[in-house]
Amino acid sequence: MTQHFESLSRIKCQALHAKVMSAEQAAELIPSGATVGMSGFTGSGYPKQIPSALAKRIREAHDNGKAFKINVWTGASTAPELDGALAEADGINMRLPYQSDPTCRNKINTGQMHYMDIHLSHVAQYAWFGFLGKLNIAVIEVAGIREDGSLIPAASVGNNKTWIDQADKVIIEVNYALSEKLEGMHDIYYGTALPPHRKPVLINEPDDRIGSPYYQCPQEKIIGIVVETYDRDRVNHFSEPDEVAKKIASHILNFLKEEVRKGILPPNLLPLQSGVGDVSNAVISGLQHGEFDNLTAYTEVIQDGMLGLIKSGKLKMVSATSLSLSPDGVDELNENIDFYRERIILRTQEISNHPEVIRRLGTIAINGMIECDIYGNVNSTHIMGSGIMNGIGGSGDFARNSFISFFVRPSIAKNGDISAIVPMVSHVDHTEHDVQIIVTEQGLADLRGLSPRQRAEKIIENCAHPDYKEALWDYFHRAQQSGAQHTPHILSEALSWHDRYLKTGTMKK
């Protein structure tokens, strides 16, 4: 690892120059057993040098027969340099609240790591309440340090404000690859309090600003500053959505048009929330070429597609907690930063995902799922009931509190060996009480106002893949001839599709 002392130009606070050190030196400040709050949200704004240096240190300790693990808290997912490196080194004891790294997932699913999967709106307050134990060290990427010692946030905010406040000690990574002109884009709310002293969060429109552009951090808490001169966030290039994603998006967009026609939604819709991935990209692409104008978004993540929507004038403004942009997206942002800064607000995660604000604004939520059952229960996190995929993220915050909420995915996976619609889900993240609209490429099931049996008819008929439709009808009809009829199930068979997949490699008989 090279040390980067080339320039202290972004550390305007002279008193802090003495704390500049190498990533290796900073990693030395993190002891085994520490609980470390790191920056990072959907592959953006994570520290890029200290985690790798720490992973190296952990491997060396293990090679010398010494135990060395830490607990890692973040905003959401990070990147191979953080989750991947630390998991690979067997350096993580407990990880929360969200991850999507293959190595990390593998360590969790082989029982070598603990993982607590938390609603993103709960994380910061659980730390404030003392529910998660003591936070020892915060490791936070920033775009710069101002003369008064306040910190200019990087491309994601996540839980950084909370980690800085709650940790005993703070280590900063200053990223020189970020545009200095990000300054002013962020809205860091310092009005939170513990009950019984809480007050309303006064956001009535997605573009209301209620905070400051900077993190506050007492200088005495800062124990190290590492200068990054080149590392960019590692986000994949934006890929064109495939035909299946386009079909799902078109079902959603047609439904929204119909709701506008009925007067249920206003002509410019309501603030959009959209998860990450192919279907979201397809929806955004559909909006780009569609009839809706003057849109807004109150969401977690801004991806490349949203920059396009902003540029075309379709999308007036976006509130989020993370800029998760491809290299091309970063270039586009940097080249037009003054334009985008007027139209983008990055907030702390407890505000971007706050039930109070989401319900008040009445967002339109579009989130992916792994599977849903015929009665409308949704599994967003588990593969075949036992293995974690990524985590619930903010989908629960938005699904329950939005004006209207969609759960989406292709009707089959693994070349047709897995059906996304099953008799009973193998894990529940969103209950029947929280699920309104299910969409696959086959069609859309509007579950509002329906009983479980009525929901089953809509879901099987509209959303199931033809290869599995008959078997689902068969289960549903036979279940109606056995036992109680509110949510008819045959318990000895309810999870047999998953069990068959585990044993034979396909859900098909």
Residue 175: which of 322, 357, 50 has the closest Cα?
A: 50
Q: Is 146 in the site for its own copies (CB under 8 A)?
A: no
- β-pairing verdict for 412-413 and 418-419: antiparallel
> Shortest Cβ distance from residue 113 to its own copies (Å)?
9
Q: Does 162 bind its own copies (CB under 8 A)?
A: no
User: Residue 65, interface with its own copies (CB under 8 A)?
Assistant: no
Based on the shown chain and the rule CB under 8 A, indicate whether residue 387 belongs to the binding site for its own copies. yes
Instruction: Indicate whether 94 belongs to the interface with its own copies (CB under 8 A).
Output: yes
- Based on the shown chain and the rule CB under 8 A, indicate whether residue 103 belongs to the binding site for its own copies: no
Position among 89, 249, 388, 422 found at the interface with its own copies (CB under 8 A): 388
Cβ atoms of 76 and 169 closer than 8 Å: no
Which residue from 172, 392, 408, 421 is in contact with its own copies, where contact means CB under 8 A?
392
- CA dist 509 to 30, 79, 469, Å? 53, 39, 13
Q: How far is the CB of 313 from its own copies (least distance, A)?
A: 19
Whether residue 43 is annotated as binding a ligand: the answer is no
Rounded-to-integer distance, Cα 280 and Cα 332, Å: 20
Alpha carbon distance 411, 507 (integer Å): 13
Q: Which of 69, 246, 347, 430 is in the footprint of its own copies by CB under 8 A? A: 430
| 373 lies in the binding site for its own copies (CB under 8 A) | no
- 36 annotated ligand binder: no
CA distance 380 to 374: 15
CB contact set of 164 (below 8 Å; sequence gap of 6+): 138, 140, 151, 170, 215, 216, 217, 221
- The answer to whether the beta carbons of residues 229 and 177 sit under 8 Å apart is yes
Burial 257-271 (b: 16+ CB within 10 A, else e): eebbeeeebeeebbb
Place of tokens 């397809």: 282
300 catalytic residue (yes or no): yes
Q: Is 426 in the site for its own copies (CB under 8 A)?
A: yes
Concatenating the DSSP letter of every residue in 77-115 gives ---IIIIIHHHHTT-EEEEES----HHHHHHHHTTSSEE
Q: Rule CB under 8 A: which of 435-454 touch its own copies?
A: 436, 448-451, 453-454
Residue 332 within binding range of its own copies, rule CB under 8 A? no
278 annotated as belonging to a binding site for a ligand = yes
Which residues inside 113-132 make contact with its own copies, applying CB under 8 A? Answer: 114-119, 122, 126, 129-132
Nearer to its own copies by C-beta: 48 or 498? Answer: 498
390 is in an annotated binding site: yes
* Given the residues 81, 141, 173, 300, the one annotated as active site: 300
Annotated binding site: 275-279, 370, 390, 394, 414
Active site residues: 300
